[in-house]
């Protein structure tokens, strides 16, 4: 093939070289320069924003779960056979509403016996008073008789309370979540656990209302024959770190959000625990938040993001952070006048909140400041590309009819904005 190329006439060689170079140039243009010039990256743009008065806040964040403030576990305090069950799980009850009753046959008998004992004790006391002669012995007999009367009276009072306890009443208004009794069940007297919720967390959480005489405070799991959850008051238990606990105090405002809630939930810090817990060596202090506002649509167990606002300042002059340039310790902004002219102004900055910066000096409310923004382009021809060996363009065989025949191996190259490469005659 080399011999045939050498036998080719000079003019044919020149034409062949021109055709090869044309094909290479066409291929390079197709690969690197087919994007329009409008695809170049756009430069920075600017807009004006007025310096305005804003509210700046400092917050501590955490997570928690909505829990009812009141959860009453209620059971009969007396023994007997259940005669009536007047509510079922899912019912809403008011405070004092009857939940169930037990038979009072034994209780009535106990009350009558206690009253008889009291009558006998009073008779003995009357006899001792009649026989009193002022001696120490007589006085002692009267004192003993009076003590028996007191004991008997206490017995009567207890028997009356027991008869009253045969009717189990709701100690608080709320939703009945458990009703674990049926008519005919035999119950034995037991104390019932009372209020439990977020307020029962360790570390001094705020307490709820005291339960009735039929229940006693407990923070254990529900074991009552009836469980009543108060839907009128809610709390959230969360934790804050050791670094943040000093900033949080009772009464601080709280904002809570959740994917399960359509609106922001508000509250106040009810208590801050004094005893920390440790997770992986990091101390955390319990904080209880009382939920305020409309609580009608809340559900037990809803997870919320908690934001405790420990400092709030209103009417603070602010501008976007992108409007402020700081160099060599000095901060400046570009102010645009009503006629469109611009000038740089030195300002004093305060605190930052989100994308806003406080301006303490150098600007006034309503001043138009220039904010520079950047818009990315849709394409950029800057950047090297590497050519590849292959068919024409860039390399390949001559057309079969080309005088002299032959082949061409395209070169490889890199560059910015266009190819650099070469070919070698084969």
- The residues pairing with 307 across neighbouring beta strands, listed in sequence order, are 61, 255
Specify the range with the lowest mean pLDDT, choosing from 30-44, 96-110, 185-199.
30-44
For 18-77, the pLDDT digits (tens) are 777 777 777 766 665 555 544 444 556 888 999 999 999 889 999 999 998 888 899 999
- What ranges make up the beta strands (E) of 180-262? 186-187, 192-193, 215-216, 226-229, 234-241, 253-257
Q: Specify the fold of 44-69+232-262+281-374.
A: 2.40.420
- Rounded CA-CA distance 150/56 in Å is 67
Question: Please, are residues 292 and 253 in contact by the beta-carbon 8 Å criterion?
Answer: no
Query: Would you call 357 exposed, middle or buried from its count of C-beta atoms within 10 A (0-12, 13-18, 19+)?
Result: buried
pTM: 0.54
pLDDT in tens, 333-383: 999 999 999 999 999 999 988 889 999 999 999 999 999 876 555 444 444
3-class secondary-structure state, position 218: coil
- Classify strands 226-229 and 52-68 as parallel, antiparallel or unpaired: unpaired
Domains of the chain, residue spans: 2-38+383-425, 44-69+232-262+281-374, 104-165
Specify the higher pLDDT residue, 387 or 295: 295
pLDDT value, residue 20? 77
Q: Grade residue 227 by pLDDT with cuts at 50, 70 and 90.
A: very high
Residues 6+ apart with CB under 8 A from 181: 82, 85, 100, 187, 225, 226
């Amino acid at each position: 093939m080399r011999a045939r190329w050498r036998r080719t006439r000079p003019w044919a060689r020149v034409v062949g070289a021109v055709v090869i170079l044309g094909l290479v140039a066409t291929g390079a243009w197709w690969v690197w320069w087919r994007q329009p010039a409008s695809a170049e990256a756009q430069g920075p743009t600017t807009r004006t924003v007025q310096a305005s008065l804003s509210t700046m806040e400092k917050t501590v964040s955490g997570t928690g779960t909505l829990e009812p403030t009141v959860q009453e576990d209620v059971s009969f305090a007396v023994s007997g056979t259940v005669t009536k069950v007047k509510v079922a799980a899912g019912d809403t009850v008011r405070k004092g509403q009857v939940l169930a009753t037990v038979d009072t046959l034994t209780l009535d008998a106990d009350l009558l016996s206690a009253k008889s004992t009291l009558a006998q004790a009073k008779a003995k006391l009357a006899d001792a008073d009649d026989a009193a002669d002022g001696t120490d012995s007589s006085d002692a007999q009267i004192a003993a008789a009076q003590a028996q009367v007191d004991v008997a009276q206490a017995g009567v009072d207890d028997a009356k309370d027991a008869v009253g306890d045969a009717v189990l009443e709701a100690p608080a208004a709320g939703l009945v979540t458990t009703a674990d009794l049926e008519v005919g069940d035999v119950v034995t007297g037991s104390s019932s656990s009372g209020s439990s919720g977020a307020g029962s967390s360790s570390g001094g959480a705020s307490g709820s209302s005291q339960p009735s005489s039929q229940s006693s405070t407990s923070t254990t799991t529900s074991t009552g024959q009836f469980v009543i959850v108060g839907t009128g008051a809610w709390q959230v238990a969360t934790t804050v770190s050791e670094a943040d606990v000093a900033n949080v105090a009772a009464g601080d405002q709280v904002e809570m959000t959740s994917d399960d809630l359509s609106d922001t939930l508000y509250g106040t810090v009810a208590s801050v625990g004094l005893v920390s817990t440790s997770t992986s060596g990091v101390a955390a202090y319990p904080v209880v938040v009382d939920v305020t506002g409309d609580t009608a649509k809340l559900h037990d167990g809803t997870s919320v993001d908690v934001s405790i606002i420990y400092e709030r300042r209103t009417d603070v002059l602010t501008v976007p952070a992108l409007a402020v340039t700081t160099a060599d310790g000095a901060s400046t902004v570009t102010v645009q006048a009503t006629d469109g002219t611009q000038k740089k102004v030195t300002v004093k900055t305060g605190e930052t909140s989100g994308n806003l910066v406080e301006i303490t000096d150098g600007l006034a409310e309503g001043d138009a400041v220039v904010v520079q923004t950047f818009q990315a382009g849709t394409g950029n021809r800057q950047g090297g590309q590497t050519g590849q060996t292959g068919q024409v363009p860039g390399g390949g065989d001559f057309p079969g009819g080309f005088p002299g025949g032959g082949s061409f191996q395209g070169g490889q190259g890199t560059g910015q904005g266009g190819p650099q490469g070469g070919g070698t005659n084969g």
